[in-house]
Amino acid sequence: MSIVNYFNHGFQSDIGKLKFSEVPQVLKDILNDKDLIQFGGKNWSRAQDDLNDIDVELRPMFVLCLFALVATDQCMQTYFKPHYAAWRTHTAYPKFGWTRFGFHNENPLKLLSVPEQAQLVDVEQTCALMREFVGFYRTLVSDYCHLHAPQISADLFFSRLLQDDIFAMGEGRVVTTFKQAAPVLIKGRTLDVSASEGYLLVA
């Protein structure tokens, strides 16, 4: 099964198998997101529970697709704020993080590193999918921007994402393999983009 086929026909139901927790109403009001729910916990402490109901053979594609959505959500929230409300309206996917005196985004790369460390995914299979995944991810973002945010190019989006401080994290083979494949997400790689304008883990 290709990643595109899985995303269109399997992922949407699999994401509903995550173990969600409620976000306090006061935070929903502050973030102006009445349907906001979360999963994961700090350092994805609930990874085992979240992945228990995902078919073992499909877990590599699941964590890659989940990473794409979480990273996109956080990048839109941080670097493209005028477009974030529309993104949430169109997607309404759960947030990856935890709440304690506010909502805290977790590093999306932990969606790749924690399952490897906990031996919850086949690392070889996950790494083998990476080239296909980055092509899928580029198309996913490009199509969304074309339809809903034409002011944003895929090159600009991925320049912001890949230069964020979250990418200082380097834990495990899957994260390393993603970083090695990620430059093709930016086709031109000619933009001079400063990472100082935002930081994904600051909600």
Which amino acid makes up residue 110?
A: K
**What are the CA-CA distances from residue 18 to residues 11, 30, 50, 52, 120 (Å)?**
11, 24, 5, 9, 14
- Give per-residue pLDDT as tens, 150-189: 999 999 999 999 999 988 887 899 999 999 999 989 874 4
Burial track 56-73 (b if 16+ CB lie within 10 A, e otherwise): eebbbbbbbbbbbbbbbb
Give, in degrees to the nearest 5, the angle at Cα 203 between 181 and 19. 75
β-bridge partners, 130: none
Instruction: Provide the residue ranges of all domains of the chain, joining segments of one domain with +.
Output: 3-197
Residues 38/56, Cβ–Cβ less than 8 Å: no
Q: Residue 194: pLDDT band by 50, 70, 90 thresholds?
A: very low
The pTM of the whole model exceeds 0.95: no
- pLDDT confidence of residue 29: 67
pLDDT tens for each residue of 70-123: 999 999 999 999 999 999 889 988 889 877 776 778 999 999 999 999 999 999
